[in-house]
Copies of this chain bind each other. A is one copy, B any other.
Amino acid sequence: MRATLIYGAGDIRVENVPDPRIQDPTDAVVRVVRSCVCGSDLWPYGSRPATEEGERIGHEFLGVVEETGPEVTGPKAGDLVVAPFAYADNTCRFCAEGLHTSCPRGGYWGQNGVDGGQGEAVRSPWAQGTLVKLPVGEDSDLLPSLLTLSDVFCTGHHCAVTAGVDARTTVTVIGDGAVGLSAVLAARRLGAERILLMGRHEARTALGRDFGATDVIPERGDEGIARVRELTGGEGTHAVLECVGTKPALTTALAVVRDGGVVSRVGVPQYEEGPAGYEMFSRNVTLTGGVAPARAYIEELLPDVLDGTIEPGRVFDRTVDLDGVPGGYRAMADREALKVLIAP
C-alpha cells in the first residue's frame, strides 16, 4: 500500500510500504477513508533533522475495519470507525479515569512500528479499546466533522474542559489555527458567553466568530495583552486556552489570565521551561492541559456532531489525495491552508 513518510524538515514523501496485517490478537486492520494533517505535524516538518530512513506520519484518521484479531469482539469488519490520535486498551486504571494518553499499553500512531494515519491503511493495536464505531456510511457528508473527533476538536475540547470553562467563565483563546478555532467552538459548546480570540488571519478569525468568538484581537505581544485587559475591565479572563505551543504564546496566556484563573495549553510545547515565578504565584494562576485523551471524549461529543449542533469539520479548507499530501503540508506550513483533509 501507499503511505506518507517524513524524511526531514520539508521532506514529505508518499511511498509504497508493506500492507498492514494482524500481528497481535487485539489488532484490527483499518482501511483509511479520511485522514488529515495536524498542526503538530508541522513541528517536525519545520525542523526535523534529515534521515536516510523515513518515518511514518499522521495520527488522525477514520476508516472501515477490514479484519480483526481473535480477541477483538467489536468493532467488526465493515464498521466505519474513528481512531483517537493515541491508541489505548481502554481497560486500565488510567483509561478508566479518562486519561487514555497515559495508558501503559497505549502509544501514538506512526511510532514504534505502528502505522501512521496518512496512508491507505493502518494496523490498530488494542482495536477494541481504541476504535469507536460511527453510525454513518463512508459516503456521509459528516466525515470531516467526525474526523475531528480523532484529534483537533477533542483537543480543543480538552483545553476548554481542563480550563474549567462553563457559562460563568470568560475565555481567551490564543491561536487561530485549527486547534484554536476548535477550542472556541468547544468553549461555546460548554456555555461560555464571552470568548476572546487572539489571531490575525482574517479568514480564520471569521470562522472563529462563526464558532462563537465574541471578540477578535489581532494584536500580539504587549499590545495584544493590553487589548485583552482593556476588553475585560483590566482583569483578564478566567480561562485562557493556549493553542499554539510556543513560549511567547504561553507568556501571553499567563499575562491575560485573571487572578485565580486557569491557563490550559494543548499545543505541543516548543520549550522546556516556562514562567513560574512570583507573578504567577501571587495571582494564584493555574497551568494545566496537556496532550488530549481524545478517546475519553468521543462518545460524549459524537451526538452533537451527528445532529449538526456543531460542525467542527469546517476547519478543513482543502482536500487532497495521497499524492497531494506533500503539497498539503506546504500549504499548511505557509498558512495558505488552515487544515488539509486527505481522501486517500
Contact = CB atoms under 8 A, between A and B. Distances in A.
Nearest to A234: B104
Contact of A276 (B97, B274, B286, B291): B274
Given A273-B273, A273-B274, A278-B269, A291 B286 contact: no
A316 interface: no
Contacts of A265: 281
A281 B94 CA distance: 16
Contact of A271 (B94, B276, B289): B276
Contacts of A260: 94, 97, 99, 102
Size category, A interface = 20 to 34
Contacts of A285: 290
A115 B311 CA distance: 59
The interface residues of chain A, by DSSP majority, are classed as mixed
A22 B196 CA distance: 45
A324 to B, nearest CB: 30
Interface string A274-311: 11111011111111111101000000000000000000
Contact of A268 (B102, B271, B278): B278
Nearest to A291: B282
Given A94-B259, A94-B260, A102-B259, A289 B278 contact: no
A250 interface: yes
Contacts of A102: 259-260, 283-284
A272 interface: yes
Interface string A67-109: 0000000000000000000000000001001010110000000
B276 A272 contact: yes
